[in-house]
Amino acid sequence: MTMVNNKRPVIVISLITAICLLGDSMLYVVLPIRWQDFGLTSLWEVGVLLSVNRLIRLPLNPLIGWMYKRMSKRAGILLAVLLAVVTTASYGMAGSFWLLFIIRSVWGIAWSFLRLGGYFTIIELSDKTNRGQFMGTFNGLTGIGSLIGMLAGSFAVEWFGIRNVTLVFGLAALVAVPFVLKYVSKGKTEADHGVHVVGGEQTLKIWREPFVVWTLVSGLMTAMVFQGMYNSTLSRLIQVHESTYVQLWTLSLGAASLAGILQAMRWGLQPWLSPWIGRRFDVAKDQSRMFVVLLVGASCLLAIVPFHMPFAVWLALLLGLQLGITAVSTVVDALATDASMRGVSKLAVMTGYTMATDLGASLGPSIAYTLDGIVGTSSIYWCAAAVLLLLAVRWLTPFQESHRPIRTTALQEKK
C-alpha cells in the first residue's frame, strides 16, 4: 500500500510534465522542415533554437536546485506550468529568430523546474527496490506528452497552421494547474539525504566518486546523442533517405509527419516499456553489464540506419532504435538516482546530472547540423554510434570506489 501511495505523486508530476511538453516536442519534428514558416532565414537557426533551451539551463540549474531547498515543490511546478503556457502559445506568433530565441530560453527555465521537481520527488519516495521502476514510470508517462506533441502536432500543423496548433497546446497546459495545487507536495527538498562527513567537510565532492562521475558523463553523452542529435535530425534523415514526401503503402506522408509517427510509436510504448526496463534494472545482478548491452545495441542501430535498404527494413530498424533509446535513457536516469544515494549530496548529484544532460542535449543539434553541412547526414549517426560504443567500453571496467569516512543519519535508505 505504501508503494502505491508513494507512486501516486510520481504519476501526477509525470502527467503534468507531459502536458507541458506538447509544444516543445512538436517543434522537434516541425521546425527542421517548416523553418521558414516560423520566420527563420537559415537552417543553422534551427539548430540554435533547438539547443538554446538547454544551454540556458546550464548556469540556471544550480540556482533552481538551490531554490527547491527554499521553496515547495508545488510552487516550483506551478511556476513551470505557467511559463509553459506562455511559451508554447507564443511559438506560432513570434515570427522572428530572436523572439523565438527568447521564448525557447524561458521554456528552458520551465523545464528545469519540472525535471528537478520530478527527480527530487522520486528520490524522496523510492528506495533501492523500486527506484528504477519509479524512474521508468516518470519517463514513460512524460513520454505521452511527446507522443501527442510529435504525432498530433506534426499532422495538425499541416492541416490547421502553426499559430493555431501552438495556441491550443499552450491553453492545454492550463489544465494541469488544478492538479498541481491538489497533488504536488508542499514540502521542500532536503539537501543531503542525511549524509554528513566526519571532520567538518559539508559533502563528498562529486568528482571523488568514479561511479558518480561516469554516471554524469553517461548522462551527457546519451543526451547529446538521443535528445540532441537524433531527435533534431530524424525528419532530416527521412528527407535525405527518402524524400520530403514519403509513399507509405497507399498514403503520401511528409517527412515531418513520418518522423512524428516514428517518435510517437516510441512514446506510445514508453509508458509500458520504461517501467518494465526499470524493474529489470532493479533486480539485475550486474546493472553495469545490462547498461553495456543496451549501449552496444543502440550503437549498432545508429551505425546502420544511414545506409540505403528496403523501406520496410529501414522502418523496422528505426523502430528498434526508438526502443533502444527508451531503454538506455531509463537506465541512465536510474543510475543517476542510485548515484545520489551513495553518500553524496542528492541535491548536488541530481543538479549536476541535469546540467550534464542539458549540456549534451544542447550540444547535440548544433553538432548534428554542423556535421550535416560539412560531411552529410550519415556522418551524424556514425559519430553518435562511436560515442555510445566508447561509453560502453568504459562501463565494462568495474569502478574503484573511493572510501571516505561518512556517517549516515536515520534518513539513510533501508538495506
Q: Which residue has the higher pLDDT, 172 or 231?
A: 172
**Average pLDDT in the 322-336 region?**
91
- Phi, then psi, of 411 in degrees rounded to 5: -80, -10
Question: Domain 2-185+204-398's class?
Answer: mainly alpha
Listed as own residue / partner, the contacts of 366-374 with beta carbons closer than 8 Å and 24 or more positions apart are 366/47, 366/48, 366/51, 367/224, 367/228, 367/229, 368/47, 368/228, 368/229, 368/232, 368/233, 369/43, 369/44, 369/46, 369/47, 369/232, 369/233, 370/47, 372/233, 372/236, 373/43, 373/44
**What is the Rg, in whole angstroms, of the alpha carbon atoms belonging to the chain?**
21
pLDDT attached to residue 414: 39
Instruction: Let me know if 399 is exposed, middle or buried by CB neighbors in 10 A (0-12, 13-18, 19+).
Output: middle
327 grid coordinates: 531503454
Highest averaged pLDDT of the listed ranges 155-159, 392-396, 397-401: 392-396
Of all residues in the chain, what percent carry a pLDDT higher than 90? 26
* CB neighbours of residue 392 within 10 Å: 19
Structure confidence at residue 204 as a pLDDT band (50, 70, 90):
low
Structure confidence at residue 386 as a pLDDT band (50, 70, 90):
very high
Return d(Cα 112, Cα 373) in angstroms, integer. Answer: 31
Residue 191, CA distances (Å) to 31, 66, 348, 355, 412 in order? 39, 9, 8, 17, 13
* Residue whose entry in the numeric block shows the C-alpha cell 551527457: 220
Return d(Cα 315, Cα 38) in angstroms, integer. Answer: 29
pTM of the shown model: 0.75
